[in-house]
């Protein structure tokens, strides 16, 4: 299983965008 990690720096908008991107990776089978 391939793993990815996200580190978010900045405002709440950046956090929301990072969470959206992380959801897309989870749906694609990443962990």
Structural domain total, the chain? 1
pLDDT at residue 19 is higher than 90: yes
What is residue 1's predicted lDDT score, i.e. its pLDDT? 78
Beta-carbon contacts of 30 under 8 Å, excluding residues fewer than 6 positions away, are: 1, 2, 3, 4
What is residue 24's predicted lDDT score, i.e. its pLDDT? 97
Domain of 23 in residue numbering reads as 1-31
Summarised one tens digit per residue, pLDDT across range 1-16 is 799 999 999 999 999 9
Contact 1, 31 (CB under 8 A): yes
């Amino acid at each position: 299983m391939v793993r990815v990690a996200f580190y978010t720096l900045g405002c709440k908008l950046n956090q929301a965008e990072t969470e959206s991107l992380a959801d897309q990776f989870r749906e694609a089978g990443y962990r």
